[in-house]
Amino acid sequence: MNDTFTYPSHTHENSVRVSDFSRNLARGFQLLVLISTVLVIAGLFVRPDETELVLWSIIIPLLPASFLISPALWRAVCPLATLNMLGNGAVSRRRIGKTDLFRAEVIGITLLIILVPARRFILNENGVVLGSLIAVIAVASLVLGLFYASKAGFCNSICPVLPVEKLYGQHPLLSIKNPRCVPCDACTLKGCYDLGPEKAVVFALRGNGTVRPKWKTTAFGLFAAGFPGFIIGYFTVENTALALGPNIYAQILGYMLISGVLFHGAFFLMRSRIDLAVLFLGTLSVTLYYWYSGPAIATAFDLDPAVGTGIRVITLMLVSVWAIRALWTLISEANSPQAAHHPSSH
């Protein structure tokens, strides 16, 4: 198999100056989102049905689309990031290196695999449990920020959303500077997603620098290949009782396993380029997500089925633009004179 990476010729460096106006504007939005998060947690206790409807059918579905446009849109205002950076390493300013980053990525992916299926047997219909869980994660993010520099303790390490950000945001449509980390204090010594989404994905597919495995055996490589099946598995099971939780995990993880085996087998037989394979997996995953969630959103709000179809069409257009632009970029860079000098992973 051709394991050659085409490295991007640019990064989203934070070395440029961010204006005071932009920084203050970002801080205003960060405060607004943080307050909104507190209100969501409170709402899950006092008005769980309405709050869960807004959370699961409006807020969460917007995130994948925002990752395609630019992960910086969410990462600039994420309330967990705000809490994580609030501690500012007050106890110790530990940075995350290669070995820690590899372990953290495994933890983040594991948390994602645990939490998403749990929606089907408790989180989708129990506001108190969901509100308590969000509060616990928020406190954990704040506490970790006391012991790690900037985002190293949570956002750039064990956040369960980070693997999805990497997959959907590997080639963002817009280059937006990160207003949080100016100047960069090198909290993540290698593979920082904020400094360069494309290079962070490449680094993850190389085992985060700890070893030089085949990309298919890295944590992110396994996750990316299995994620389409994970999405199908989630949307093809129904909400059920807590006692049937093990069945939910078995079904969803079964789909994930089949997906991983099929796609890695196909990539091996076709000797696919890694960058193209990961682009395909990201495109397929986000397409599947909106294909299922569009009608689900319409149903949740008792809207005409045509609304669900409209969501499918609009998001498919966005995904198509994202995928075509990314493909054009990869092909152009592969044919550039500099491509011959870029390192490869085996």
Average model confidence (pLDDT) across the chain: 89
pLDDT surpassing 80 at residue 21: no
- Cα–Cα dist 131/315, whole Å: 29
pLDDT(11) > 50: no
Q: Hey, which bits of 189-267 come out as E strands?
A: none
Q: Is 189 domain-assigned?
A: yes
Average pLDDT of span 220-248: 97
Q: Which residue has the tokens 């204090």?
A: 185
State both tokens at 68: 């395609």
Total count of domains within the chain: 1
Establish if 291 belongs to a structural domain. Answer: yes
Residue 11 lies in a domain: no
Q: Which residue has the tokens 């899950």?
A: 44
Kindly state the tokens that stand for 175: 């280059």
> CB-hemisphere CA count at 13 Å for 187?
28
Residue 244, pLDDT score? 96
Neighbouring CB atoms inside 10 A of 305's CB total: 11
Instruction: Evaluate if residue 9 carries a pLDDT over 70.
Output: no
Match 């809207």 to its residue by tokens.
303
Q: Say how many CA atoms lie within 13 Å of 339 toward its Cβ.
A: 12
CA angle centred on 323, ends 318 and 325, rounded to 5°? 95
8 Å CB contact between 168 and 68: yes
In this structure, are residues 234 and 117 in contact, taking their beta carbons and an 8 Å threshold?
yes
Average pLDDT rounded to a whole number, residues 27-40: 96
Please state the pTM of the whole predicted model: 0.89
CB-CB contact of 89 with 148 (8 Å): yes
Hey, which of 1-15, 111-125, 177-191, 261-275 has the most confident mean pLDDT?
Answer: 111-125
Per the domain annotation, does 168 fall within a domain?
A: yes
- Does residue 5 fall inside a structural domain? no
* pLDDT of 289: 98
Q: What is the largest CA-CA distance in the chain?
A: 61
Cβ atoms within 10 Å, residue 334: 17
Sign of the CA dihedral running 93, 95, 99, 102: positive
Task: Print the domain residue range for 226.
Answer: 20-337
- Examine residue 345 and state whether it is found in any structural domain, yes or no: no
- Residue 342 belongs to some domain of the structure: no
Residue-wise DSSP of 127-193? HHHHHHHHHHHHHHHHHHHHHBSTTTTTTTTT-TTHHHHHHHSSS-SS----SSSSS---SBSS--T
Query: Is the per-residue pLDDT at 119 higher than 60?
Result: yes
Burial class, 220, CB count within 10 angstroms (exposed 0-12 / middle 13-18 / buried 19+): buried
pLDDT-wise least confident of 7-16, 68-77, 171-180: 7-16
Average pLDDT over residues 158-186: 89
Tell me the average pLDDT across 152-170: 95
Counting Cα atoms < 13 Å in the Cβ hemisphere of 191 gives: 28
Could you tell me the pLDDT band of residue 16, with boundaries at 50, 70 and 90? very low
131: in domain: yes
Q: What is the pLDDT of residues 245-279, one digit of tens each?
A: 999 999 999 999 999 999 999 999 999 999 999 99
Query: Mean pLDDT across the stretch 14-41?
Result: 82
pLDDT for 18: 59
Phi/psi region, residue 345 (left: phi>0; alpha: psi -120 to 50; beta: rest), is beta
